[in-house]
Structure 1
Amino acid sequence: MRLDTLSVLNAERAARRAAILVTDLDSGEQRLVREEALDGDPLAALLRPRLASGRSGIAEVEGRRLFLTVQVPPVRLVVIGAVHIAQALAPMAAAVDLAVTVIDPRTAFATPERFPGVDLVPEWPEDAFAGRLPPLDRYSALAALSHDPKIDDPALTAALRAGCLYIGALGSRKTHARRVERLEQAGFGADAIARIHAPIGLDIGAVSPAEIAVSVLAEIVGALRKDSAGLRRDCTGARP
């Protein structure tokens, strides 16, 4: 691999952007396809499913053998609210290889004893995203579970603006209706707000915190697999 190609690939990795290195196994020629340029690439039909699967491998195109080195950022799950559901959700999400972060400014809830081994941020979401945490992006899922608008709303706003692959919020339909009103006042359109899964989780009749956590994780995995090509729509939806 040429040094300049490696430098670009490393830069894409650091910026949490997907890319595919296409290597012609016969000639040794290489080229890098960034996710933002995939639609216009002549091999788009081949590269898109590879990006979706995240798996590298050999492919044959018109008699040429190509090796496709796929680089996809690890998916993050940011949980807002160190509540009982979050306690059950965090280890489940880690078991399916999601990088979990729990954010809650209420230090009585956000404790290492309640969340052993979890990346725990006892700060307000807006402070956490402006501080040590990397910004949300299209490879992030966000579950707002605090049931407190002062905590959840700033996180939901950030997730909508970032075009996260999944956004969910705890609360009844009445609670969500009030949430919609607040987001509309903040400048978001109906299409953007409709991306929020609320009430959060698949409708499986879940009752206990652990059951709700199962329903939330299943919904996140469904969103990831249905829209995992790394080219998610720009759904920020904020009005000028």
Structure 2
Amino acid sequence: MENMPELALEWHRAGRGAVLASVVETWGSAPRRVGSQLVVAGDGEMQGSVSGGCVEGAVVLEAQDMLATHATAPKLLEFGVSDDAAFAVGLACGGRIKILLQPIGGALPEAILQHLVAARAARHAVALISDVTGAAPPHVVERAEAPDLSEAFAKDKSGLDAEGLRYIAIHNPPLRMVVVGAVHIAQSLIPMAQMAGYDVTLVDPRPAFGSTARFEAVRLLDAWPDEALDDIGLDARTAVVTLTHDPKLDDPAIMAALRADVFYLGCLGSTRTHAKRVDRLTEAGFGAEAIARIHAPVGLNIGAMGPAEIAISIMAQITERLRKS
């Protein structure tokens, strides 16, 4: 969903008008997954995508018509994307999609959208629940308040309910990765993580390692790892990877991660190195259950050789932990 809710609120408040379009159901080889969004302004400008280019034109026209007529009810559109149309935008074959249009200030009240945007900014896991018929107003629920949606939150899975009357849009906090150690493996791991949708922060207090000349397109922190991780604020949508081989740098980061609810903690080092690490952590007061959360040696055992392959094994293990836990 990227920043579509934020953009819709911004355009609405600027007086441009805004309609939020969301993919709510798909069949076959639909171009975009459920939850994909597009924002349309009254002047026809759009951001985002609901079909990879197959039906955007029709969605924009419908949205503009809703704004021009001051429509307040939501509208549910259904499209069949032919194989030829799909091929024209680089897709192998077509499918069918349902798209929900919600004018901001009407079907989606400004106050509800503001609530959603504020929750996203605070990194709260929430769901926006919308009646596709408009019979009831949309509302936002926190993950803790909706145990029946726990599986949807865990799988990042938006969609219609069993009756097809309510669209449940899951808004999990963006994924984050903290990499401790500006080493060669990090040079391969960081772009992989960014392509997979992670907001990456690289931590290394050593100026010769953590330089912009070696790492251009990533947030760099030259603080000590424990201080940096405390400032970042670790949570259940954060992965931490330590790569320095230096206990003075790795251990404080590991301890900070073990005290937090990170979904993944991986540490570079051999089995012997990890055994010594376990001894230090035990001496520091961490129990066996906490220490068992550490993935070490880091990465899936794929026989990786060299920094790039090790980075692949780490990214694969993080993905496995995220999607299968």
Range class of TM-score, shorter chain:
0.7 to 0.9
| Letter of the structure 1 residue corresponding to residue 142 of structure 2 | R
Offset, 1:92: 1.4
Q: What is the aligned partner in structure 1 of residue 248 from structure 2? A: 150
| Letter of the structure 1 residue corresponding to residue 153 of structure 2 | L
Q: Which has the higher contact order (CA 8 A, sep 6+)?
A: 1
Q: What is the aligned partner in structure 2 of residue 38 from structure 1? A: 146
Q: Does the 8 Å contact 2:300/2:316 carry over to 1? A: yes
Offset, 1:179: 1.1
Q: What is the aligned partner in structure 1 of residue 126 from structure 2? A: 19
Offset, 1:201: 0.5
Please give the alpha-carbon distance, in whole angstroms, between the structure 2 residues aligned to 1:190 and 1:112: 39
Asked if 1:205 is matched to 2:307, the reply is no
| Letter of the structure 1 residue corresponding to residue 137 of structure 2 | E
Q: What is the aligned partner in structure 1 of residue 156 from structure 2? A: 54
**Normalising by the residue count of structure 2, what TM-score does the alignment of the two structures yield?**
0.63
Alignment equivalent of 2:181, drawn from 81, 85, 90: 81
Q: What is the aligned partner in structure 1 of residue 272 from structure 2? A: 174
Please give the alpha-carbon distance, in whole angstroms, between the structure 2 residues aligned to 1:172 and 1:84: 17
Please give the alpha-carbon distance, in whole angstroms, between the structure 2 residues aligned to 1:70 and 1:118: 27
Please give the alpha-carbon distance, in whole angstroms, between the structure 1 residues aligned to 2:144 and 2:252: 28
Once the two structures are superposed, residues 63-112 of structure 1 have per-residue CA deviations (whole angstroms, 9 ceiling, x without a partner) of x6001122111111110000111111111111211111110111101011
Q: What is the aligned partner in structure 1 of residue 224 from structure 2? A: 124
**Normalising by the residue count of structure 1, what TM-score does the alignment of the two structures yield?**
0.83
Please give the alpha-carbon distance, in whole angstroms, between the structure 1 residues aligned to 2:146 and 2:275: 38
Alignment equivalent of 2:213, drawn from 113, 131, 146: 113
The count of aligned residue pairs is 217
Asked if 1:103 is matched to 2:203, the reply is yes
Alignment equivalent of 1:10, drawn from 82, 107, 117: 117
Offset, 1:4: 5.1
Please give the alpha-carbon distance, in whole angstroms, between the structure 1 residues aligned to 2:228 and 2:177: 14
Offset, 1:3: 5.4
Structure number with greater Rg is 2
Offset, 1:208: 0.5
Offset, 1:12: 2.3
Q: Does the 8 Å contact 2:128/2:170 carry over to 1? A: yes
| Letter of the structure 2 residue corresponding to residue 38 of structure 1 | A
Question: Which ranges of structure 2 fall in alignment gaps of 5 or more residues?
Answer: 1-107
SS at match of 1:60: coil
Asked if 1:196 is matched to 2:303, the reply is no
Please give the alpha-carbon distance, in whole angstroms, between the structure 2 residues aligned to 1:127 and 1:48: 32
Q: What is the aligned partner in structure 2 of residue 237 from structure 1? A: none
Q: Does the 8 Å contact 2:230/2:256 carry over to 1? A: no
Please give the alpha-carbon distance, in whole angstroms, between the structure 2 residues aligned to 1:126 and 1:29: 45
Please give the alpha-carbon distance, in whole angstroms, between the structure 2 residues aligned to 1:7 and 1:188: 41
Please give the alpha-carbon distance, in whole angstroms, between the structure 2 residues aligned to 1:59 and 1:106: 51
Runs of 4+ in structure 1 off by over 6 angstroms are none
Instruction: Name the Cα RMSD after superposition.
Output: 1.8
Q: What is the aligned partner in structure 1 of residue 166 from structure 2? A: 66
Q: Does the 8 Å contact 2:143/2:150 carry over to 1? A: no
Please give the alpha-carbon distance, in whole angstroms, between the structure 2 residues aligned to 1:37 and 1:167: 28
Question: Which ranges of structure 1 fall in alignment gaps of 5 or more residues?
Answer: 228-240
Once the two structures are superposed, residues 102-139 of structure 1 have per-residue CA deviations (whole angstroms, 9 ceiling, x without a partner) of 101111010111112111112211222344xx311110
